[in-house]
Structure 1
Amino acid sequence: MPKSVVFKMGLPWKRLQDFHQWVLDNGDKRTDPWLLVYSPVPITCIFLCYLVLVFFGPKVMEKRQPVNLKYILIIYNFAMVCLSAYMFYEFTVTSWLANYSLLCQPVDYSNSPLGMRMAKVCWWFFFSKVIELSDTVFFVLRKKNSQLTFLHVYHHCTMIFNWWSGVKYVAGGQSFLIGLINSLVHIVMYLYYGLAAFGPHMQKYLWWKRYLTTLQLTQFCIITVHTTYNLFADCDFPDSMNAVVVAYALTLIALFSNFYYQSYLAKRRKRA
């Protein structure tokens, strides 16, 4: 084989190696030693395993009985309520003590107590997104395949990568508001799922599911407006990160709006 052909074949792999090395070298040195942060390889492997589960899981369960996970779901959902409440508290208190600005907040890369405290809660928020992949595992085991929508899979897949990037490069600063708002929403969301796990007799108390979706949409709108402002403001926070957040939030607004329409408005019209 001519050397020129070998060179061209090897060039993409070399570029990939160079990019991987750049990722390793340019991260936040404070968070590099923490679980799943230093290299993108572990989180990519988790992502690939997740896709295998989504694709093959329903096929494996096709001729099997649904697994009864009632008590596991109750414990899991209320544990997630507690974790979300802890993160909401940490985001709120740390940003308050550090005098964070809502309009423009650079990342504090120092090893100061408040700088490290904010970085740690950002890691916990990222790790919570890895834990939340369990939602899909439970759907598969319970044969709730109708829940494995594009919105569900897309949201879970992208969040683990978005927040891996956040902890790797911008653990704190402007991104704190996303974690704070999302933690608050997840307190309500997992409370809903925890109550629903007790059984059908709880449905009469869960009339507020529609408002949960509205709350989720509201958070994406707030994040979009807030990040768009910072994208155009003179703020010492990476514009590349702001641009990714805005683009991502817009996709979630579109997908959750469609879910809201199909779940509530379209069904109401059919009943009418």
Structure 2
Amino acid sequence: MTTYMKIFNERISGLATGVDETVDSWFLMSSPAPVVTVVLVYLAFVLKIGPEYMKNRKPKDLKRIMVLYNAFQVCYSIWMCRTSIRESNVMASIFSKKCEINRTREQNLALYSGAWFYFFSKIIDLLDTTFFVLRKKNNQVSFLHVYHHTITVMFSWGYLKYAPGEQGVIIGILNSGVHIIMYFYYMVAAMGPQYQKYLWWKKYMTSIQLIQFVLILGYMLLVGAKGCNMPKTLTFFFVGNTIIFLYLFGNFYRKTYRKGKSIDSNGSVGTGTSLAQSALRAAGGMGCMPIQSKSSQFSMPTPAKQSYIDLNNNSVKPMKLD
């Protein structure tokens, strides 16, 4: 038993040592224990504690909090995007022959610092699910939504701790850029039904998300083809996840904007869009999803008949789009 405990302690001690001792001294970066604790608390709350607490209570009215939260996310994403572009050598890595980048100690720390703020933004993103639970939108707490937030936190932490590579920078820039648009959309949606007539560009937001995945996939394939001196495991992980989300978001776009809901052999409306809709929620979706009235369930509704879910738990109100 003593031998096994010794081996276990050695393995844990090894996990506590990352690529840079300065990074190891930062908040939540000393060892896996702090970030694992955050994730476990998150999972316990959104899957068990929160729903049980809200079971016999009215949904919380979080309109102001959500508007402020989404406004903060927009500003934070703008700052991260700007800082990453200014401090990194992404363009140099793309156009150099072997993606070789030479950095000073100070430049490396600047890169690591940006990666830490990106990681911490994923901690903040966990509030998305918390708001769903407090507003009793438990149907939006899907497996994919929770999985996405969990894996993003753990992976961004592990990336900074053990394998910070140049390929992570461009993903952070693209993701932060999309978050600027996405959280602005959710901020307007959270302001109430009267503002939803300004959300006609929802379809284009999904297109932007798809373009993001295409660019990430193209960049990762370029990194692999050029034989760049970057962590190969990291590249393969990015490629695999990008393909999965590209498929899911593409399916969401096709089902929502091209074909509408399908009808099965019994004449009922199919659930083919549920998986893709879950993928949209996985990206932190906090806006309003279009729904169809019973009278129009077998055909796509016209804009004048389209209804929206009120984020503030009011009754569903039809709104005519301008």
TM-score by length of 2: 0.74
Q: Is contact 1:122–1:172 with CA below 8 Å preserved after alignment?
A: no
Q: List aligned pairs for 1:234-245, cutoff 5 A.
A: 234-245=227-238
Q: List aligned pairs for 1:1-272, cutoff 5 A.
A: 11=4, 16-56=8-48, 57-95=50-88, 100-102=92-94, 105=99, 110-112=104-106, 114-171=107-164, 173-267=166-260, 270-272=298-300
Shift of 1:40: 1.0
Instruction: Tell me which of the two structures has the higher relative contact order, counting C-alpha pairs closer than 8 angstroms and 6 or more residues apart.
Output: 1
For the residue of structure 1 that corresponds to 2:227, the secondary structure is coil
Shift of 1:268: 5.9
Shift of 1:102: 2.0
Shift of 1:88: 0.4
Shift of 1:149: 1.9
Deviations 1:184-206 (A, max 9, x none): 00000110111111101111101
**Structure 2: how far apart are the matches of 1:109 and 1:52?**
42
Shift of 1:245: 1.4
Structure 1 gaps of 5+ residues are: 1-5
**Structure 2: how far apart are the matches of 1:250 and 1:155?**
14
Shift of 1:21: 2.5
Shift of 1:219: 1.3
Shift of 1:46: 1.2
Shift of 1:95: 2.2
Q: Which amino acid aligns with 1:111?
A: R
**Structure 1: how far apart are the matches of 2:241 and 2:92?**
24
**Structure 2: how far apart are the matches of 1:208 and 1:83?**
22
Q: Is contact 1:85–1:184 with CA below 8 Å preserved after alignment?
A: yes
Q: Is contact 2:17–2:31 with CA below 8 Å preserved after alignment?
A: no
Shift of 1:20: 2.5
For the residue of structure 2 that corresponds to 1:25, the secondary structure is coil
Deviations 1:68-104 (A, max 9, x none): 11111111100110000000001111125x8632256
**Structure 2: how far apart are the matches of 1:15 and 1:193?**
48
**Structure 1: how far apart are the matches of 2:255 and 2:137?**
18
**Structure 1: how far apart are the matches of 2:72 and 2:240?**
31
Label 1:175 to 1:216 Cα distance change in 2 as closer, same or farther (>3 A).
same
TM-score by length of 1: 0.86
Structure 2 gaps of 5+ residues are: 263-297, 301-322
CA RMSD of aligned residues (A): 2.4
- Alignment correspondent of 1:3: none
**Structure 2: how far apart are the matches of 1:242 and 1:106?**
16
For the residue of structure 1 that corresponds to 2:27, the secondary structure is coil
Q: Among the aligned pairs, what percent are the same residue? A: 37
For the residue of structure 1 that corresponds to 2:88, the secondary structure is helix
Deviates more, 1:228-237 or 1:137-146: 228-237
Shift of 1:212: 1.5
For the residue of structure 2 that corresponds to 1:245, the secondary structure is helix
Deviations 1:13-34 (A, max 9, x none): 6655443332223432231111
- Alignment correspondent of 2:282: none
Shift of 1:210: 2.1
